[in-house]
C-alpha cells in the first residue's frame, strides 16, 4: 500500500501537482501539513528531485521542526539536505554567506528587541528629539511597518507630504539604519529586507539560489507581508515551481503587517497557477463546520470554499446570553466544572476571548472553584506589568511600609530617578531604621542625593497628594486620579503600538474590577480591595507550582490559531467587544472582515462542542454598557444554533415592547434579534436613561447599601450620575442604570 493512498482526492492532487505555480487553499483542519510533507516525499522519491533543490518556508520554528521531522521519517537518508526553516532563518543563512556584498561582515550582529530599543534611545538623544512626542516603541513600530512594506527611509520621506510627524520618523529611520550599519548589525526586519536588496543588486547571487531552490513551498501564505512576497517571487521567478499553502479565511495578522492580497491575488501574479481546495475537515463535527461556514460566507474579500467532514453531526453550537460579564464567567466556569465531573479532562477545555483584558473575570471564577488553569502565550491578569505598576501605586497609598512597591513606582513612568539614587535612599533608610518611603519623605536630609533630591521630593509630595485624595474619594476615582497625575495612561496612548493598546485595555479592565468591588461591598475600602486581590495573586503563584498539564487553557483568539480542543468556550460575543468597537467605527469594511475571520478561527478550534456566550451588561471603562449580541452569532444559521430557551424577566419585557433595561425610551429594542434591523453604532453605545422616577431629596433603596437620601443628580453624556447619602455606609456616587435605585414610597 502506497503512503499516498491514505490521502483524499484533493490532497493527492496537490501532492502530484509539482510543476508550475500551485495555490493550495487549505481550510482549517484539512491536513495541510500532511499534504506538504507528502509532496516533499513525492518530489524526492517519485520525481527524483535532489533534496538540495527543495526549500520549504514556515512561520514558526515549531512548524519547521514538525515538518522536518515528518519529512525525515518518510524520506530517511538525504532529508538533512532539505531547507525547511522560517523566513528569518532562511534569510540569515543566505546573508551569512553574502553580507559582504552589502557592506557588512559575514559575522554581522543580529539585534533583538532590547538591542533595538537601546539603539533607538541613542538615536533620539543624538537628534534631540522629545521621547514624549516620539516614544521609542512607537518609532520602532513605525520603522518595522515600513520594512514590512520594503520601504526605505527615502521612500517613507517621499510619501510624507507636509506631515511633520511622518517627516521626523523618516529622518529617525535614516539615522537608525545608519547606526545599525556602523555597528555592523541588522535587526530582524533587516534580515528579509537586506536579502531582497542582495538579490536585486546581484543577479548572479539570485541566479545561484534560483538554481539551488527549484522547488519552493511556503506555508501559512495568508500571513505573508510585502517583503516576504517579494522574496518568494524573486526566488521562484526562474523555474516557477512555487507551491503556496494557506487559508484566506484565517488571515488574522494584519496588525503585524500581513497582506491578505498576497493570497487573494496569487492567480493575478501567476496567471497559469493551478488552484486546489482542501475542504474536507478532519477535526470538527459537521454542526461546528456549518456554523463556521455560515459566518465566513458573509466576507466579500475571500476565495470560495466550504468545509465539510465525514465526522458525526455532533451537538448544536450552544449560545447563552447572561445578564453581566460576571454571570457569563460564572456560567462558563460552572459548565466546565460540570464537564469535569462527567470525566472530561481539564486540558480538553479552552476559554477563548478577543482581548487579553477579558481573562481577568474568568481567572477569578476559576480560582474560586479551585479549577487549575494556564494562560497560553500570555500572562495572568494581575501579573501583567501595567497592573502590577498600578497596584503598587495603590499599595503605597494604602501602606507605605511596602518598600518593594515604592521602589517599583519611584521611576514609573520615568522621572529621571536612577538606581544609584534608589540605593542612596535605601542606605539612609537602613541607617535610620525607617521605611524606604519615610526616607523619601526626608529627601532634604539625605545629602548624598545632591541634585536628585528635588526629584525625590516631588515624588514624595505626589504620594502625599494621592493619600489625601484617597481620604475623600472612592478607589475608582483615586485610580483615575493616579493615571492622570502620573501621566501613565497618556504615555501608553502616545506610544500607539498594539502592545500599548493591549495594556490600555488591561487598565480599563482594572478600573472595571474596582468599580465592581465598590458596587458589591457595603463599605469598600482600599485595604479590603488590596487584600482581596492579594489572595488571587497568591493562589496564582501556588497554581504555577503544579506540574500537572491537566489545566483549562485560557487564550486570546490570535493565540489560539493552530490549536484545537474538544470543548471550546468563546466569550464576549457582543457588538463592541467582538467585533471590537474600533473596527465598528473605522468605516473600513475590511476591519470587520478581519474580525469575522478571527471568529471563524475561534469556531474552528472546536472539535466536539462549541459554547458561545455574551453579556447584556458589561463594565467598560468603569461604566455599565449595554451591548447587542454579536452579529457573528446572528450569522450562524438558526438550525445549527442552540440558544438557551429560558428567558429572563428582562427578555420578556423587551419582547413586549416595553422600555428596555438600558432605558431606550419608547424604542422597541431587543438584543440579538435576527433580521430585525441592521447593526449600527447606536446599538453599541450606552443607552442613557431618559428619566428617573426619583429626584434630589427623595428617599431611595439600594440592594447592597440599603436606604438613603438623594443629594445630587448630574446628567452625563451616557448616564445619570447619582449621589446618595446612605444611612449605614455614608455618601456614594454611582451611575443610575447600574445602581438600580428604587424610590421609597
Q: Which of these is catalytic: 187, 190, 220, 348? A: 220
165 is an active site residue: no
CA atoms within 13 A on the CB side of 352: 27
Question: CA–CA distance from 343 to each of 44, 346, 385 (Å)?
Answer: 46, 9, 37
**102 grid coordinates:** 552589502
- Distance CA(576)–CA(78), nearest Å, equals 54
Residue partners of 34: CB distance under 8 A and separation at least 6: 7, 11, 70
32 is an active site residue: yes
Q: Which of these is catalytic: 30, 58, 222, 250? A: 250
Residue 278 host element (H or E): strand 274-278
Let me know the angle formed at the C-alpha of 320 by 658 and 572, rounded to the nearest 5 degrees.
95
- Distance CA(471)–CA(128), nearest Å, equals 42
Biggest CA pair distance of the chain: 91
CB distance 281 to 253 below 8 Å: no
Torsion sign over Cα 585, 591, 593, 596: negative
Let me know the angle formed at the C-alpha of 498 by 492 and 499, rounded to the nearest 5 degrees.
60
Residue partners of 352: CB distance under 8 A and separation at least 6: 555, 556, 557, 560, 568, 569, 570, 571, 602, 605
- Give the full edge-to-edge strand order of the sheet including 699-702: 730-735, 720-726, 706-715, 699-702, 742-743
CB distance 232 to 242 below 8 Å: yes
CB distance 30 to 282 below 8 Å: yes
Helices 136-148 and 164-182 meet at what angle, rounded to 10? 80
220 is an active site residue: yes
591 is an active site residue: no
Q: Which of these is catalytic: 214, 605, 616, 618? A: 605
Question: CA–CA distance from 678 to each of 616, 623, 636, 667, 744 (Å)?
Answer: 18, 25, 16, 15, 40
701 is an active site residue: no
Tell me the three state secondary structure of residue 545.
Answer: helix
**205 grid coordinates:** 547571487
Asked if the bond preceding 413 is cis, omega within 30° of 0, the reply is yes
Residue partners of 670: CB distance under 8 A and separation at least 6: 651, 654, 655, 660, 676
Q: Which of these is catalytic: 10, 148, 219, 651? A: 219
Torsion sign over Cα 233, 189, 213, 35: negative
Q: Which of these is catalytic: 33, 86, 525, 623? A: 33
Question: CA–CA distance from 523 to each of 308, 520, 616, 706, 729 (Å)?
Answer: 56, 9, 27, 12, 6
Let me know the angle formed at the C-alpha of 279 by 276 and 282, rounded to the nearest 5 degrees.
130
- Distance CA(688)–CA(685), nearest Å, equals 9
Instruction: Return the C-alpha torsion angle 471, 474, 479, 483, nearest 10.
Output: -80
Q: Which of these is catalytic: 11, 12, 30, 32? A: 32
Question: CA–CA distance from 732 to each of 469, 619, 625, 706, 724 (Å)?
Answer: 16, 18, 20, 12, 5
In 546-588, which residue ranges form alpha helices assigned H by DSSP?
557-560, 581-585
Question: CA–CA distance from 403 to each of 439, 470, 522 (Å)?
Answer: 11, 20, 31
- Distance CA(614)–CA(85), nearest Å, equals 41
Question: CA–CA distance from 197 to each of 144, 147, 152, 243 (Å)?
Answer: 16, 12, 11, 23
497 is an active site residue: no
Q: Which residues are catalytic?
A: 32-33, 219-220, 250, 605
Amino acid at each position: 500500500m502506497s503512503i499516498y493512498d491514505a490521502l483524499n482526492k484533493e490532497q493527492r492532487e496537490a501532492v502530484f501537482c509539482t510543476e508550475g505555480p500551485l495555490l493550495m487553499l487549505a481550510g482549517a483542519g484539512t491536513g495541510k501539513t500532511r499534504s506538504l510533507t507528502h509532496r516533499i516525499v513525492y518530489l524526492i522519491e517519485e520525481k527524483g528531485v535532489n533534496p538540495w533543490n527543495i526549500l520549504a518556508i514556515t512561520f514558526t520554528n515549531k512548524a519547521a521542526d514538525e515538518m522536518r521531522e515528518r519529512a525525515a521519517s518518510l524520506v530517511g537518508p538525504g532529508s538533512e539536505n532539505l531547507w525547511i526553516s522560517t523566513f528569518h532563518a532562511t534569510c540569515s543563512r543566505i546573508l551569512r554567506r553574502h553580507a559582504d556584498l552589502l557592506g557588512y561582515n559575514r559575522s554581522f550582529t543580529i539585534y533583538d528587541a532590547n538591542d533595538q530599543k537601546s539603539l533607538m534611545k541613542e538615536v533620539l538623544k543624538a537628534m534631540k528629539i522629545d521621547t514624549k512626542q516620539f516614544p521609542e516603541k512607537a518609532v520602532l513600530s513605525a520603522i518595522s511597518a515600513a520594512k514590512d512594506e520594503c520601504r526605505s527611509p527615502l521612500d517613507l520621506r517621499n510619501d510624507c507630504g507636509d506631515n511633520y510627524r511622518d517627516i521626523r520618523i523618516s529622518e529617525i529611520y535614516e539615522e537608525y539604519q545608519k547606526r545599525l550599519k556602523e555597528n555592523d548589525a541588522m535587526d530582524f526586519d533587516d534580515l528579509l529586507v537586506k536579502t531582497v536588496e542582495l538579490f536585486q543588486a546581484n543577479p548572479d547571487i539570485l541566479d545561484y539560489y534560483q538554481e539551488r531552490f527549484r522547488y519552493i513551498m511556503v506555508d501559512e501564505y495568508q500571513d505573508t507581508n510585502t517583503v516576504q512576497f517579494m522574496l518568494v517571487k524573486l526566488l521562484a521567478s526562474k523555474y516557477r515551481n512555487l507551491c503556496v499553502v494557506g487559508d484566506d479565511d484565517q488571515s488574522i495578522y494584519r496588525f503585524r503587517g500581513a497582506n491578505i492580497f498576497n493570497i487573494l491575488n496569487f492567480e493575478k501574479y501567476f496567471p497559469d497557477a493551478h488552484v486546489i481546495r482542501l475542504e474536507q475537515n478532519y477535526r470538527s463535527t459537521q454542526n461546528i463546520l456549518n456554523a463556521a461556514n455560515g459566518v465566513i460566507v458573509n466576507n466579500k474579500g475571500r476565495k470560495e470554499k466550504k468545509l465539510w467532514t465525514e465526522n458525526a453531526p455532533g451537538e448544536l453550537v450552544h449560545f447563552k446570553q447572561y445578564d453581566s460579564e460576571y454571570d457569563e464567567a460564572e456560567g462558563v466556569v460552572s459548565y466546565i466544572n460540570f464537564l469535569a465531573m462527567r470525566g472530561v479532562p481539564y486540558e480538553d477545555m479552552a476559554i477563548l476571548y478577543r482581548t487579553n483584558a477579558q481573562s481577568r473575570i474568568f481567572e477569578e471564577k476559576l480560582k474560586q472553584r479551585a479549577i487549575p488553569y494556564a494562560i497560553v502565550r500570555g500572562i495572568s491578569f494581575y501579573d501583567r506589568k501595567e497592573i502590577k505598576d498600578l497596584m503598587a501605586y495603590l499599595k503605597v497609598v494604602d501602606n507605605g511600609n511596602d518598600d518593594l512597591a515604592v521602589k517599583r513606582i519611584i521611576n514609573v513612568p520615568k522621572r529621571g530617578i536612577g538606581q544609584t539614587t534608589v540605593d542612596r535612599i535605601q542606605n539612609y533608610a537602613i541607617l535610620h531604621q525607617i521605611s524606604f518611603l519615610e526616607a523619601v519623605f526626608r529627601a532634604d536630609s539625605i545629602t548624598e542625593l545632591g541634585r536628585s533630591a528635588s526629584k525625590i521630593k516631588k515624588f514624595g509630595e505626589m504620594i502625599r497628594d494621592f493619600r489625601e485624595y484617597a481620604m475623600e474619594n472612592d478607589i475608582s476615582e483615586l485610580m483615575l486620579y493616579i493615571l492622570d497625575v502620573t501621566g501613565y495612561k497618556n504615555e501608553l496612548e502616545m506610544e500607539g503600538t498594539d502592545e500599548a493598546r493591549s495594556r490600555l485595555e488591561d487598565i480599563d479592565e482594572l478600573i472595571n474590577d474596582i468599580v465592581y468591588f465598590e458596587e458589591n461591598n457595603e463599605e469598600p475600602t482600599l485595604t479590603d480591595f488590596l487584600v482581596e486581590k492579594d489572595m488571587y495573586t497568591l493562589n496564582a503563584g501556588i497554581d504555577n507550582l503544579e506540574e500537572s498539564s491537566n489545566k483549562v487553557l485560557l487564550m486570546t483568539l490570535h493565540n489560539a490559531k493552530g490549536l484545537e480542543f474538544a470543548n471550546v468556550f468563546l466569550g464576549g460575543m457582543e457588538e463592541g467587544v467582538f467585533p471590537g468597537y474600533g473596527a465598528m467605527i473605522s468605516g473600513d469594511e475590511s476591519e470587520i472582515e478581519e474580525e469575522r475571520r478571527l471568529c471563524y478561527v475561534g469556531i474552528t478550534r472546536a472539535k466536539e462542542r462549541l459554547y458561545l456566550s455574551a453579556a447584556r451588561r458589561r463594565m467598560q471603562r468603569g461604566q455599565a454598557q449595554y451591548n447587542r449580541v454579536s452579529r457573528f452569532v446572528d450569522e450562524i444559521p438558526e438550525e445549527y444554533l442552540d440558544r438557551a430557551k429560558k428567558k429572563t424577566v428582562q427578555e420578556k419585557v423587551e419582547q413586549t415592547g416595553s422600555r428596555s433595561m438600558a432605558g431606550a425610551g419608547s424604542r422597541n429594542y431587543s438584543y440579538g434579534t435576527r433580521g430585525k434591523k441592521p447593526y449600527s453604532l447606536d446599538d453599541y453605545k450606552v443607552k442613557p436613561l431618559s428619566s428617573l422616577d426619583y429626584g434630589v431629596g427623595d428617599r431611595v433603596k439600594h440592594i447592597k447599601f440599603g436606604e438613603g437620601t438623594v443629594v445630587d443628580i448630574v446628567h452625563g453624556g451616557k448616564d445619570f450620575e447619582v449621589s446618595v447619602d446612605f444611612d449605614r455606609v455614608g455618601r456614594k456616587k454611582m451611575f443610575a442604570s447600574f445602581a438600580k435605585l428604587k424610590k421609597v414610597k
